[in-house]
A and B are shown apart, each in its own frame.
Chain A
Amino acid sequence: MKISKRKINKEGSTSMNLRIDRQTLLLLIIFFALVLGFGIFEDGFLTQRSIFSMAFQLPEIGLLSYAMMLPYLVGGINLSINASSNLSALIGAFFLLKFLPLLNLPDIPALQIGGVFVVAILVGIAAGLFNGILVGFINAPPILATLASMAFFTGISVGLTKGSTLTGFPQSISLISNTSVMGFPTPFLIFIGVTILLIILLNKSSFGFKLRLLGTNPVASQFTGIENKKIIMLYFVFSGILSAIAGILIMSRTMSASYQYGIRTYVLLTILINVLAGIAAGSGKVINVFITVFILQVISTGFHMLLIGMRGSSFFKDFVWGLLLIFIFIVNYFTRNKGTEKVELLGLFRKGKSMNE
């Protein structure tokens, strides 16, 4: 009785007081240590130009990380995020190049940008439904289902473009990534906006609650009366939408659309970000993913500046990312043990803890 009361208090007050989750704290410390370190050793690091370029680069991978995070919260995976983001961008490009000229409309940037967003997001939703059917209704293991849909989406992209890169969009498309509002690059603001929406979706909506429950125990969630299949469909659809937005940002930055953008690297990078952020089946915070994206970007930019001109310098960051991941695992291992000791001393959640382990 006492336990349940305290639990309610604790959860009800998270939004009010400044309790910081252990993983968030660790990530913040690492982030500030890195910024400080690079700031001391590299003169150009803390300049407006380099900060601006970082804020410009990270939204794409950040949005894709969110697209990976939703299935990851359920203990699943979505390997097709990059394929569906490229497909969305490609269909958006076709809309611009083939469909819009047919209508003979005047050159209105808002119409072009809006149209691309609508078309790309519709494609993202379709891709999500496809994944959702494979995983939810056909019961295929997510890793295999999304591997197949990755091949499927890439296949459509390759087939439609015959392997070529589409270019020659109206100039208005570059506005998405080239403008800044109140000193912030627009993609960065989109990223912040999506982050806030996602936090609300996961913490304040019934979908977020059901998603976590499904991740913790699918059988229990089924018996609670949650339609698991519907939730599976929904999170894949959200994942598809997020990938589509990332696809538009990539398209706007490069002013091109191709099936092969980030094809071999982005998927694993987003998994790496989610694991670093401590996302696991049933638990995880959007803000941790947010900070982790910054950490990886700082490492990437920082070492790029430090090692400039060295042979293979761009690969050093991969090496550091791997080491950082292991470092976080080890720190978590030791603090986790201390944490449970403390919890046991207080006599709180003993039962819940042992069930989770």
Chain B
Amino acid sequence: MVKNNMLKRIFETTEFVTFTIIVVLSVIIGSINPAFYSWGMLFDILRASIVFSIMAFGLLPVIISGGVDISFVAIAAMSSYATHMYLLRIGYEGGILLYYLIACSIGILAGLINGFLVTRFDLLIFNVSLAMYTMWYGFVRFFIGSERNHNLPAGVANFYSRFLLIVENQFTGVTGLHVSVLFVLGIGVTIALLLRYTTLGRGIYAMGGSRDVAIRCGFNIKTITFFVMMLMGGIASFAGVTFNLLSRFFDPTIFLGQELDVIAAIILGGASLSGGRGSVIGSFMGVIVIQMIHRALILTGIPVEWQDLMVGILLVFFISFPFIRDSFKKLTLKSSLQKP
């Protein structure tokens, strides 16, 4: 009985819906084009999901705590570009470690500013992040530089092709599982453990569930806000550096306009914008769904100009899914009530 209830609970979560959609999508795409079932395709989807997953993991605690932030993309762009320009100027030739260290420090500082404004002046996270979003994109392009830079130091120039595994396939050519998948795994597991097994993590959920109750339980709301904002800034910068290294250029406008995709992925993965709900694995699946939709359209041979519409239709279908499920449930409930 208990087990039955648990199963039922799993079926009712949005994470399960997302999972179902991943399965259904792969069956459909695979039946149209068998090339979908290949290691190459899997690695390709994973590679495309790396940066967005990392950013989603960074943003997830903020969303669970009940806030919506959009400044993380600007922080990522600003910190990685500033780091790159600085290291180029001092003639740095070393590896990726210093890149990550400096960028993440800048990101954490930027998060600290967000946290300070939110807690000191009693503001909404979304409003502050809107200001910081505009400010950082303006700052980096006016004060640091507005052009794409292709000069990479020798130590990081080959990072984009550092693979764990390489497979060859007649459809996709040579593809590999990139090293940075380990970053996704590492950050994902850390955040999941933090959310699940630490007092701070439980505080984040409590704050999102009910602010007042969390305060009365003795959680320090200000500390939690500072923590989630700094964590977000640091991880977003990590993702920013990774994106730039993978694409072999540094650009001050990366992710401009893509903040909503990340938020959508997190919500598709079962988080609630009003806070208190959400999981790392769900967010990851949300990112995968969006990447799969894009891949699916290429593989199924839909003309390029109609692909955006298909993304729209699939998204509309996806958000209507819980509604369809519920009305179906109501129908069956009604009929079962009428029978006896």
Q: Which A residues contact B (CB, under 8 angstroms)?
A: 79, 134, 137-141, 143-145, 147-156, 158-159, 161-163, 263-265, 268, 271-272, 275, 311-313, 315-323, 325-326, 329-330, 333
Contacts and interface: CB of A to CB of B under 8 A. Distances in A.
A272 B134 contact: yes
A305 B268 CA distance: 45
Given A151-B308, A152-B316, A138 B323 contact: yes
Contacts of B133: 268, 322
B146 A315 contact: yes
Interface string B106-132: 000000000001000111000110111
B136 interface: yes
Contact of A152 (B131, B260, B312): B312
B121 A333 contact: yes
Given A143-B68, A149-B316, 15 more contacts: A141-B267, A149-B312, A150-B312, A152-B315, A155-B308, A159-B308, A268-B133, A275-B130, A316-B138, A318-B138, A320-B138, A321-B134, A322-B139, A325-B131, A326-B131
B243 interface: no
A143 B133 CA distance: 18
Contacts of A162: 305
B309 A158 contact: yes
Contacts of B155: none
Given A148-B312, A329-B121, A140 B320 contact: yes
Given A264-B256, A268-B130, A325-B131, A152 B313 contact: yes
19 contacts: A134-B316, A137-B323, A139-B323, A144-B264, A147-B264, A150-B312, A152-B316, A154-B308, A268-B130, A312-B145, A316-B138, A318-B137, A318-B138, A322-B131, A322-B132, A322-B133, A322-B134, A322-B136, A323-B135
B311 interface: yes
A283 B121 CA distance: 20
B193 interface: no
Contacts of A139: 323
Contact of B260 (A147, A319, A323, A333): A147
A325 B134 contact: yes
Contacts of A311: 146
B77 interface: no
Given A145-B319, A271-B130, A315 B122 contact: no
Interface string B133-166: 1111111011101100000000000000000000
A326 to B, nearest CB: 5
A143 B131 CA distance: 19
A275 B138 contact: no
A158 B307 CA distance: 9
B171 interface: no
A313 B319 contact: no
9 nearest A-B residue pairs (beta carbon): A322-B135, A155-B309, A318-B138, A152-B312, A319-B138, A264-B257, A151-B312, A148-B315, A155-B308
Contacts of A145: 319
Interface residues of B, number: 46
- Interface of A: prevailing SS: helix
A144 B319 contact: yes
B128 A319 contact: no
A140 B121 CA distance: 32
B99 to A, nearest CB: 23
B233 to A, nearest CB: 16
Interface of B: 68, 70, 117, 121-123, 127-128, 130-139, 141-143, 145-146, 256-257, 260, 263-264, 267-268, 273, 305-313, 315-316, 318-320, 323
Contacts, number: 142
A98 to B, nearest CB: 17
Contacts of A265: 257
Nearest to A151: B312
Contacts of A325: 127, 130-131, 134
A138 B311 contact: no
B135 A319 contact: yes
Nearest to A323: B135
Contacts of B316: 134, 148-149, 152
Contacts of A155: 306-313
Contacts of B260: 79, 143, 147
A163 B312 CA distance: 16
Contacts of A329: 117, 121, 123, 127-128, 131
Contacts of B320: 134, 138, 140
Given A264-B257, A321-B134, A323-B135, A315 B142 contact: yes
A147 B311 CA distance: 11
A317 B315 contact: no
B296 to A, nearest CB: 15
A319 B273 CA distance: 28
A148 B146 contact: no
Contacts of A161: 305
Contact of B312 (A79, A153, A316): A153
A246 B4 CA distance: 55
A326 B305 CA distance: 41
B78 to A, nearest CB: 11
B139 A319 contact: yes
B128 A326 contact: yes
Contacts of B313: 152, 155
Nearest to A150: B312
A319 B142 contact: yes
Contacts of A318: 134-135, 137-138, 141-142
Contacts of A150: 312
Given A158-B308, A312-B145, A317-B138, A151 B315 contact: yes
A321 B117 contact: no
Give the most central of A145, A147, A153, A323: most B CB within 10 Å.
A147
B189 to A, nearest CB: 27
Given A138-B320, A143-B263, A152-B312, A163 B128 contact: no
A115 to B, nearest CB: 26
A312 B132 CA distance: 19
Nearest to B256: A264
A353 to B, nearest CB: 15
A147 B315 contact: yes
A312 B142 CA distance: 5
